[in-house]
């Protein structure tokens, strides 16, 4: 896999370099609420621009249905990238049409443009190889060289991720190189004890990584909405909490296998419950009640880990040498249910472990809750991509960058 340093050494001055970034940032209208992914790709874009390249940045945002939708425009991300670069960034209002061609043609050496959301074209995400390839052919006309740096999308077999690199000379950007290097530390010659913290809503999203990490981790801590499927598998009442009943047999199997392998599974011992889900817009006081994990009322919903669980999890992380964390411990967007996620983040800050925050909501939570990103070993830009890498899967976007 060619690196960006090798590409720069060969010279990029005057070349149109297509950078597949991940600018899939959360928006409140047109306001970016977390610019972490834009900041993560900025160094690669800046390096290429400084080398005299004519940089064409492309990305998806959200899930538009293969057609333009103003709610998913990349215009706010383009403006923010310009602010971070300290230079004007041109913006094309389409992906491969007249605006994109004219915008790219107008670039001078060292200038940067962003084209509109790739998913405004159905060919980007098509499962039909020919349709996807046709869109990749159109994208290829905008560039001379391809740089893959959208780690959050490398697990997708999409036109700009998988098909386009086959049509152009290609290299991996600095962000992808960093992400892969970090993930290798979680899978090869891991420093022990190795603790994994998994949260988020659905246990089904994490079954693959649990299956793979049972062979590698020393202990696995469970929180978030997925914890209630684990508690149910232990025979406990979970009230109206988020529950994937169909996954209970699989979870029982993992708990049994963990016991056989000597892997410690740590589940909540107490939780915060309420009769209804909190209002995340007004953030009105929710007045939750703390109950033992084996005493959740039938009409109550678990929304965060409780104070005893926070202490327990902090203790289980204190002596770890390596920690991977993916998924919040509760509804962290509401202040009454943020303490569990905050406690895990603080435990990682306090621990001497090499800590990796595995993208998605966890990365957003770290920033939203006011933690210094530099206090963690690494904050990933790709939740799904990180999980699939840890599952041992081949990621199409990484395979496409191999020579």
Active-site position among 39, 167, 185, 202: 202
Known catalytic membership, residue 360: yes
DSSP conformation letters of 220-253: EEE-STTHHHHHHHTT---TTS---GGGHHHHHH
Active-site position among 150, 383, 384, 397: 384
Active-site position among 360, 382, 383, 397: 360
Active-site position among 16, 20, 37, 157: 37
Q: Which has the closest alpha carbon to 222: 110, 312, 117? A: 312
Known catalytic membership, residue 86: no
Angle between the N-to-C axes of helices 307-318 and 339-350, in degrees from 0 to 180, rounded to the nearest 10: 20
Pairing verdict, β 194-198 and 219-222? parallel
Angle between the N-to-C axes of helices 360-368 and 339-350, in degrees from 0 to 180, rounded to the nearest 10: 90
| 184 φ, ψ (degrees, to nearest 5) | -65, -30
Known catalytic membership, residue 252: no
Q: Which has the closest alpha carbon to 103: 90, 94, 117, 89? A: 90
**Can you tell me the distance from the alpha carbon of 164 to that of 158, in angstroms, rounded to the nearest whole number?**
9
For residues 381 and 363, the answer to whether their CB atoms sit within 8 Å is yes
Known catalytic membership, residue 199: no
- Catalytic positions are 37, 202, 360, 384
């Amino acid at each position: 896999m060619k690196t960006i340093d090798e590409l720069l050494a060969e010279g990029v001055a005057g070349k149109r370099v297509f950078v597949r970034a991940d600018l899939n940032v959360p928006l409140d209208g047109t306001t970016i609420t977390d610019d972490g992914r834009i900041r993560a790709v900025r160094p690669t874009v800046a390096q290429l621009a400084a080398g005299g390249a004519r940089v064409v940045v492309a990305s998806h945002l959200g899930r538009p249905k293969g057609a333009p939708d103003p709610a998913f425009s990349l215009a706010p991300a383009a403006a923010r990238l310009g602010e971070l670069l300290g230079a004007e960034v041109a913006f094309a209002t389409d992906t491969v049409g007249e605006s994109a061609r004219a915008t790219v043609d107008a670039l001078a050496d060292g200038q940067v443009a962003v084209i509109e959301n790739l998913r405004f074209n159905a060919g980007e995400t098509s499962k039909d190889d020919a349709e996807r390839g046709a869109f990749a052919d159109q994208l290829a006309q905008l560039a001379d060289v391809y740089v893959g740096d959208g780690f959050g999308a490398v697990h997708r077999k999409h036109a700009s991720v998988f098909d386009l690199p086959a049509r152009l000379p290609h290299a991996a950007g600095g962000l992808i190189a960093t992400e892969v290097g970090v993930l290798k530390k979680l899978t090869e010659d891991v420093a022990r004890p190795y603790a994994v913290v998994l949260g988020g809503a659905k246990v089904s999203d994490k079954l693959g990584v649990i299956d793979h990490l049972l062979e590698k981790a020393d202990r696995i801590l469970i929180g978030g909405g997925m914890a209630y499927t684990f508690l149910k598998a232990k025979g406990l009442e979970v009230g109206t909490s988020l529950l994937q009943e169909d996954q209970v047999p699989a979870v029982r199997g993992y708990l049994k296998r963990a016991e056989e392998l000597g892997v410690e599974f740590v589940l909540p011992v107490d939780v915060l419950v309420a009769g209804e889900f909190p209002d995340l817009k007004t953030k009105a006081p929710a007045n939750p009640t703390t109950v033992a994990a084996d005493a959740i009322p039938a009409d109550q919903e678990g929304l965060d880990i409780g104070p005893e669980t926070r202490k327990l999890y902090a203790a289980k992380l204190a002596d770890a040498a390596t920690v991977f964390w993916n998924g919040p411990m509760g509804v962290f967007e509401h202040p009454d249910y943020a303490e569990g996620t905050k406690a895990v983040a603080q435990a990682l800050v306090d621990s001497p472990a090499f800590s990796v925050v595995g993208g998605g909501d966890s990365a957003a939570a770290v920033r939203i809750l006011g933690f210094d990103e530099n206090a963690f070993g690494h904050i990933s830009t790709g939740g799904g991509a990180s999980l699939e890498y840890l599952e041992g899967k081949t990621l199409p976007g990484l395979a496409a960058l191999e020579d």
